[in-house]
Structure 1
Amino acid sequence: MGVDAPLGDFGDVLYYSALAVYILAMVLHAVEHGLLRRAEPAAVATPVPAAVGAGDGPVTTTGPGDETPGAPEPPARGPRSSSERFGRMGVSLTVLGFALHLAMLVVRGVAAGRAPWGNMYEFTAAVCLVGVGAWLVVLYRRPELRRLGVFVLLPVILLMFLGGTVLYTQTAPVVPALRSYWLAIHVSAAVISSGILLFAGVASVLYLLRSAHDSSGRMAWTAKLPAAAVLDRVAYRATAVAFPIWTFAVITGAIWAEAAWGRYWGWDPKETTAFIAWVVYACYLHARSTAGWRGPRAAAVNVVGFAVMVFNLFFVNLVVTGLHSYAGVG
């Protein structure tokens, strides 16, 4: 199948458009963060006097929807604050950027006639797309975490800038060794897990910063972040979702290696680093479930795993010589 170069060029336009929208969204989230005075306190139980004849004691409410019959109506919600308005605009632009980003990968795949992650440029774009998608899913479930937007979009923008400049590759067929159905299976698993782990790594870094502020009072800007326990829980759940997918990626990579090179494992730099990342994340999940290792020490292990993933994506692919060097695939 031939390559549709004009369609591939249109995909590049979508890529840079998504990057521009992400940058604008990050600016809006930064304004939102700057306007925040401090992190909102967690909901606490507030006694509300019971209506006459409703019962013998006070009625307790913890939030909207929790009031018992006979309790006074909660006060009407006031106008949105400036920070909330900027934050909502930032989320809207993030959704727009995600749509452009997704369209870029679809167009690139159609133009090349293959899965759109056959080189470093495409792989980085796909990982960033999953990272933004994971953030939007969390945001849908937990809207109060919107203040993390600037910190989630920053690494995405940096990676996409590198992908669109240093790692850029024109639309073209992949080398013969990659013309296999395993490209769609193995690499897609690596894309999904890497994108989710990108979000989990950011959450762990922010958790460590928030914990440092809670213990020392330094870095006042971190007081605007959600509570440390919330960040820790978000990082753990994201890693718990991504780890089985990463395990599947490692296993399918070994199966593909046997089909392509006649052996399941050869301690190639890419294989070795992927296995090290797997071990680090397994240690994190174990540490997070062990009482003596919960907290900053477990989060530090998660950050190490994130660093190994970044090292695997860039240094191993671009600097180290190995069987995966020709592919440019993450």
Structure 2
Amino acid sequence: MSRIYLDHNATTPLRAEARAAMIAAMDVVGNPSSVHAEGRAAKALVEKARAQVATAFGADGADVVFTSGSTEGAGLALAGRDLAGSGVEHDAVRAWTHESLSVNSAGRVSVLDPASSTLQMANSETGIVQDLPEGLAVTDATQAFGKLPVAFNWCGAQMALISAHKLGGPKGIGALVLRRGTELAAQIRGGGQEMGRRSGTENIIGIAGFGAAAEAAVRDLASGAWDRVEEFRNILEEALEAGANETIFVGKDARRLPNTSCFATPGWKGETQVMQMDLAGFAISAGSACSSGKVRASAVLTAMGYDEAVASSAVRVSLGPETTEQDVLRFSEAWLNKEKKYRARAA
């Protein structure tokens, strides 16, 4: 039987719209910094995509600075700033912040001083969604953009991180979105591209794919595609709960991304489950993809107060618009079969 991909929070399949835009961009010869006709054509392509991303993200009147992804965007936004963060942030953000914001058992973060803090919109592992306070310095919108109704102009943050490959665009392209007039020191210096914020010849193929993907993602959201995804996610969890009494579903009673389920069976290592399900034909993950290959307990679950047995046994299933009810039922059957064998060995 064909494999079933259930790791959309790690990366999503490339959308047809993005693929078509990228193929067309391959025939654009010029450098966007050149003033001749070929250069102007390349520049027009970049600016079209910038407008597409800005509109899709509800960021009209803001600056969209293209980067290689959210990790670079985090460095650009956070370098040289003394900002508070929490233990549930992505590693790319945690690397630049001091963890002084408290997290409760429901995964909610308390922010006392928004102007000197970072706070993600939604967690990549648990799917838990945060309420952003007005005046927040930086928000990581990487997982929320394209899955939830998001408008930068209304989110209250000064800067936001987004990435193309989380919403059906290509890997290796993202953006830092910031309110016009926000001071920002360039980390990559040179020719002054991207309004002097990020030098280097623009990746016009990736940028074109990002613009097309962002536009298509908003159409999917408006059409109710993610409502169907949430329905299938709930069917999955109901099936697993019915057959696995010891399994803990993290954030089940919280507001979550519609596609994300994080669950742990204490003692059954997450990486073991990932390998077993891979052999059975399913792609899932144990924590953030950026930490894959590292055998360790989930820092996110640890920050929420879970012990080692739970934090090292968690896996994440993340669905996409193409996921079907049959897919989640096939997965639940296969996973429950493995869980039954694990309990028999552990008895």
More strand by share: 2
Question: Normalised by the shorter chain, which TM-score bucket?
Answer: under 0.3
Specify which structure has the bigger relative contact order, considering alpha-carbon pairs within 8 angstroms and separated by 6 or more residues. Answer: 2
| TM-score relative to the length of structure 2 | 0.25
